[in-house]
Amino acid sequence: GEDVEQSLFLSVREGDSSVINCTYTDSSSTYLYWYKQEPGAGLQLLTYIFSNMDMKQDQRLTVLLNKKDKHLSLRIADTQTGDSAIYFCAENSSGGYQKVTFGTGTKLQVIP
Amino acid sequence: NAGVTQTPKFRVLKTGQSMTLLCAQDMNHEYMYWYRQDPGMGLRLIHYSVGEGTTAKGEVPDGYNVSRLKKQNFLLGLESAAPSQTSVYFCASSYIVSPYEQYFGPGTRLTVT
C-alpha cells in the first residue's frame, strides 16, 4: 500500500531556510502536496506539485520532486515565527476515487 | 462562506457511550472524508464519501459508521466508544477536479475515559 514518511521534528532559527523532507512509495501518484496545520486548526493546502514537474516555486516556498527516488522536499526561505506549524506531505493515489495519503507530519519550530 | 464546519469542538465520553460528529460544507463538494489524527501517526482515513447517499471504508473504519443523506453533510458515529478512539477527528471535503485540494474543518477533540 501507499506510505508517506517524514521526520517528526525540525528546529530552525528565524531568518534561516527550512527544508522539510518526505519520501513516498506510490510511483503512480499524480499530485504531491504540502499541507500546513497551525495549532488548534485543521490542515490547509500550502502548495502542490504535479508529478511531471521537478520544481515549483511560490514566493518563499520551493518544492523539489525527485521521482526516481520518490523524494519530495519543501524549502521555506527566510523562515519566520509565523511559519511554526506542522507540515504534512501527501500524495494523490490513482485509486477509484481521489484518495490522498498523508505523512506523519513534521513539526517546525522557529526560534526567534 | 463558512467552508467546512464541525460540531462539537470538544467532547468527553465514557466507555460504551455513543455519539455523532457532524460535518457540514457549503462549497458543493462531491467528496467528503473523515480522518483521525493521533500523535506520530499523521492522519488516517476512517470513511469517505464520493457523493450523496454513498459511503465507503477507509484505512481504519472499525468502530465507526457514517452517513451522507445530504450532499453538504457527513456524519460520523461511534456506536460504543472505546479509549482507543480518543483522538482528534477532522472532516474534509474536496472537488472532483484536479488538483483535488482537500478543505479541512477545525477538528473535534474527543476523549474517551
Query: pLDDT digit string (tens) for B3-25?
Result: 999 999 999 999 999 999 999 99
pLDDT band at B97 (very low <50, low <70, confident <90, very high): confident
Determine the pLDDT at residue A2: 65
| Residue of A37, A87, A98, A102 to mutate when probing chain B, most B C-beta within 10 A | A98
Angle at B40 (CA atoms; ends B11, A60), nearest 5 degrees: 100
Among A31, A69, A75, A76, smallest CA distance to A53 is for: A31
Q: How far apart are CA B112 and CA A87, in angstroms?
A: 27
Are residues B99 and A44, on separate chains, in Cβ contact within 8 Å?
Answer: no
Residue B1 has pLDDT above 80, yes or no: no
Mean pLDDT of chain B: 95
DSSP annotation string for B11-45: EEE-TT--EEEEEEESS--SEEEEEEEETTTEEEE
Q: How far apart are CA B28 and CA A86, in angstroms?
A: 28
| Residue of B37, B55, B95 to mutate when probing chain A, most A C-beta within 10 A | B37
Calculate how close chain B gets to A65, using CA atoms only, in Å. 16
Calculate how close chain A gets to B113, using CA atoms only, in Å. 22
Determine the pLDDT at residue A94: 63
| Whether A12 contacts A80, CB under 8 Å | no
Q: Which residue of A33, A44, A98 is in closest CB contact with B104?
A: A44
Residue A94 Cα to chain centre, angstroms: 19
Using the 8-state DSSP alphabet, how is residue A97 labeled? S
Determine the pLDDT at residue A71: 95
Q: Which three cell numbers stand for residue B64?
A: 465507526
Per-residue model confidence as pLDDT tens for chain A (112 residues): 568 999 999 999 999 999 999 999 887 878 999 999 999 899 999 999 998 899 999 999 999 999 999 999 999 999 999 999 999 999 987 655 667 889 999 999 999 9
pLDDT in tens, B38-64: 988 889 999 999 999 999 999 999 999
Q: Output the furthest CA–CA distance in chain A (Å, rounded).
A: 46
| Whether A103 contacts B42, CB under 8 Å | yes
Residue B85 has pLDDT above 90, yes or no: yes
Are residues B102 and A97, on separate chains, in Cβ contact within 8 Å?
Answer: no
Residue B110 has pLDDT above 70, yes or no: yes
Q: Which residue of B90, B94, B104 is in closest CB contact with A98?
A: B94
List, in order, residues 6 or more apart from B41 with CB less than 8 Å away: A104
